[in-house]
Amino acid sequence: MKCHHTAFKKDCCKHDCVKWLHVQGYNPQTGTPVDEFKCADAWVPLLLIDISRQTSSVGAAVESERNIIDKNMQAAISLAANQAKQLHHTQVES
């Protein structure tokens, strides 16, 4: 097989090429284990899918954390407002 890295002038040199990578993990589309060597350019589509999936997961986690922080901030503001009212009433009665 001719290598696109050499403009298809030479055969793929596989293990001697800087673009020959060993990838271990799971296929993001099927969930099946992956443990193989391929050209880096051949891995790009699979890795882009995985990055996209992970980015979506991070986005959902950030949104969830934001909602928790917002809820806690609202509770803290409400508590501070109630304490301020109580302090004001105490000072007015004195």
Mean pLDDT across 66-77: 96
User: pLDDT over 70 for what percent of the chain?
Assistant: 96
Q: What's the whole-model pTM score?
A: 0.58
* pLDDT for the residue numbered 9: 76
In a domain, 61, yes or no: yes
For residue 18, tell me if it sits in a domain.
Answer: yes
Q: In the block, which residue shows the tokens 């996209």?
A: 52
Tokens 């403009």 label which residue? 7
Look at residue 62 in the predicted model and tell me its pLDDT: 94
Does residue 78 lie in a domain region?
no
Tell me whether residue 79 is in a domain. no
Reported as a single tens digit per residue, the pLDDT across 35-70 is: 999 988 889 999 999 999 888 889 999 999 999 999
Q: How many domains does the chain have?
A: 1
Determine what percent of the chain falls in helix, strand and coil, rounding each to the nearest 5. 65, 15, 20
Which residues constitute the domain of residue 32?
4-68
* Residue 91, in any domain of the structure: no
